[in-house]
Chains A and B, each alone.
Chain A
Amino acid sequence: MAEWEPWCSGEVLVGSGAEGDLVALVEPLSFWGGVDDTTGAIIDGHHPQVGIILAGSALLMGATRGSSSSTSTLLECIRRRTAPEVLLFTDTDPILVVAAVVAWELYGRGPTVVLLSASPDVDGVTRVRVDNDGRVSARRNFERERT
C-alpha cells in the first residue's frame, strides 16, 4: 500500500483538515457554465477534462477564468454536496475562495481552501490530505479509494 508522504504546503484560507482524490486542472475552468451543480461534473465541452466529477475531490488549480457567477455555482455545489472537499490554489484568485467562506458562514461546512506557496509535482499523485496548518500530504499511484 502506498504511504502518505509530504507533498507541499501553503496557507489555509478557509476550513480545516480534509482530504480527497486529486484532480489537477490542466487548463483554467469557469465553474459557471463549466460545472453542473447537480452532479459536480465538468460540462464545458471546450475543456480537456470534460466529464470528470469534482464532487469530493481535492481540486488543484491556478487562476479561474470566465464568468464571475462561478462563485454562485460553487456555493450551490456546496449546498448540494457536489463540491470538491479541498481547493488547492497556486494563484491568488478569490472567486472560488469567496464561495467557500460564505458556505461556512451559511451552512457551517464547505471546502478547505489552501493557497499553496509553489506548484507541486502531480505525477502519480492520486489522493491528498490537508492538515490544519496547511501541510499537504499525498499518496502516489494508489488506486482511487472513493466508490
Chain B
Amino acid sequence: MNTPVAPSTELTAGERSMLAGEEGPAVALAMRVLLVAAQAQKAQRLIPITAAHIDGCLYHGPSSLDFVRVLVEGGGRVRVPTTLNVGGLDLNRPDLFIGSSTRRTSATELMDSYVGLGCQPTFTCAPYQLPGRPQRGEDVAWAESNAIVFGNSMIGLRTNRYGDLVDICAAIAGLVPYSGLHIARNRVARSVFTVDPDVRTLDEDLLPALLGHHVSRLTGTLIPVIDGLQDLDITEDWGKAFGAAAASGGGVAMFHVAGATPEAPDLATAIQGLPPLLERRVTHADLMAAHEELTTSALDARLGGVSLGTPHLSRTQLVEIADDLAGRLVQVPTFATTSRSVASSEPDAVARLEASGVTIVRDTCIYGPSKVLDPDGTMMTNSAKWAYYAPSQLGYQVILASRKDCVESAVQGRILVGGGRG
C-alpha cells in the first residue's frame, strides 16, 4: 500500500524533496509517517523542532526491531539533539533481567540501534533531569507520557503527546505537525480545580500523586489548572509526581498550577479569560478515594518488596531515600530506579543506598517488559504511576504509600502505613 500523502498539509520545497527520497529512504519513510500523523491532527504544515526524546527504544516485541532496522538500513540519522527513554534492561546489570535470553538480546539490540541513529544513550524516562534540557518556548518532540506532561507544564516546552515510532521520525526529519500544544492558544486551562485547605493534612509526598490521579479522572482532554496551592512549594519533584499520575490515569499532556508553573503566574493568566468548561472543588475525601483506587492490597498482607523511582528518581530524591534509611538494612527486595546520569551525579547517596541493601536500577524501569523482580507478596510504592500499572502489567498487589512509609516498611520487613493516611 502506498501511504496517502496528506493533501491538506502544505510542504516546503525542502520537505517535498525529503519526502521524495532525495535525502535517503529513512528520511522519506519518516516524512510519510509524519504526514499521516499531520493528517490525523488536521495540521496545515510542519514546523522545525529543537530536540527530541524517544520512547521507541523500549522493546515490545519483534516489531520494535523490524522498524528500527528499516531506519538504520535506510541511512537514518537524527538531526536534532535526541535523548532516549528507558530501554528494556539495565545495560550495566543485565543479571537483573527476568526473561528469555532471546528477549534480552533483542532488547539490547534495540537500545544499541537507536544509539546508532545518533541518539544519546541517556535511557531515562525523566529527560528533564538531564543537564542541557531544552528551555521554555522551544518546540520539541517528546515521547513518554510523564516527560511530555512535565515538559509542557513545568518547563514550558511545546510538545504534543508523541508516541513511539513517530518520535524517531520527528527526530530524523527534524519536523513535527503544527498542531495541538505547539499552538499557544491550545495551552490555555479549560478546567479549574480548587483544592480545599484540609488536603494539606495528607502526606506531602502522596498529595501530588493522589491529586494528579483524581484530576485526570475528571478533566478528560481539558487542560486543568489547580488553584488553592499558592503557599505550597511546587518543586520539580512535586510536578513530576502530579504529572506522572495524571498522564497514567488520564490523557493529560499539560497542567497549570496557579502561582507556580511557568505559564500560570496566576489563575487569570492560566485561563486567559476563557470561561472554564469544568469547575470542581477537590476535597480530602476525593483524594482518599483516589488512594483507595490505587491500592489493591489489604494492609495486613505480606510485604514482598518496595519500588521507588517511577518516574526515575531525581538527585534530591536519591538523597532523601538515603537519609530516610540512615544506614539501616532493608529486609525485603527494595528497588530505587533512576538514570545513569543522576546516579553518577550522586555517588554518595548511591553508595549509602547500596550499603543498606537497596538495588539501584538504571536505564530501565521496573515494570512492563523490564521485569526485574518477582515478589512473594504485596508491593509498596510511592508512585501513582507504578501503582496504576503494576496490577495489570505484572499481576502484583500494590499499596500506594508515602516515601517514608515505604522506606520504614522495607526496613521493618512488613507493611507499615501511617503518615500517608492523613
Which residues of A pack against B, CB within 8 Å? Answer: 11-16, 28, 30, 32-34, 37, 43-46, 62-73, 75-76, 78-80, 89, 91-95, 97-99, 101-108, 113, 115
Contacts and interface: CB of A to CB of B under 8 A. Distances in A.
B58 interface: yes
B163 A95 contact: yes
Interface string B157-191: 00001111111000000000101000000000000
A101 B33 contact: yes
Interface string B1-19: 1011000000000000000
Contacts of A76: 60-64
B37 A94 contact: yes
Contacts of B166: 71, 94, 98
Given A76-B63, A105-B70, A69 B164 contact: yes
B248 interface: yes
A33 B165 contact: no
A15 B368 CA distance: 30
B140 interface: no
Interface string B137-168: 00000011100100000000000011111110
B55 A68 contact: yes
Contacts of B167: 68
B56 A72 contact: yes
Interface in B42-84: 42, 55-56, 58, 60-64, 66-67, 70
B247 to A, nearest CB: 7
B207 interface: no
A82 to B, nearest CB: 11
Contacts of B248: 30, 66-67
A76 B165 CA distance: 12
Contacts of A64: 251
B3 A63 contact: no
B389 interface: yes
A70 B163 contact: yes
A75 B67 contact: yes
Contact of A97 (B32, B36, B164, B250): B36
Contacts of A91: 221
- Which 6 A/B pairs are nearest by Cβ-Cβ distance? A65-B251, A71-B163, A76-B61, A72-B60, A94-B37, A95-B163
26 contacts: A13-B36, A13-B39, A14-B36, A33-B368, A33-B392, A37-B60, A44-B392, A45-B391, A46-B293, A66-B145, A66-B248, A66-B249, A68-B144, A69-B55, A71-B163, A72-B61, A75-B64, A80-B61, A89-B40, A92-B40, A92-B41, A97-B36, A97-B37, A101-B33, A102-B165, A106-B66
B30 to A, nearest CB: 11
A28 to B, nearest CB: 6
Given A66-B145, A66-B248, 18 more contacts: A33-B392, A43-B392, A62-B221, A64-B251, A71-B163, A72-B56, A75-B64, A76-B64, A93-B40, A93-B41, A98-B165, A101-B36, A104-B3, A105-B3, A105-B29, A105-B33, A106-B70, A107-B66
B388 interface: yes
A41 B163 CA distance: 21
A9 B259 CA distance: 45
A80 B61 CA distance: 10
A89 B41 CA distance: 11
A106 B388 contact: no
B164 A68 contact: yes
Q: Which of the listed residues B177, B251, B368 has the most CB atoms from chain A within 10 Å of its own CB?
A: B251
Contact of B388 (A15, A46, A73, A95): A46
B250 A28 contact: yes
B247 A66 contact: yes
B70 A68 contact: no
B163 A79 contact: no
A103 B64 CA distance: 11
A98 B41 CA distance: 12
A13 B161 contact: no
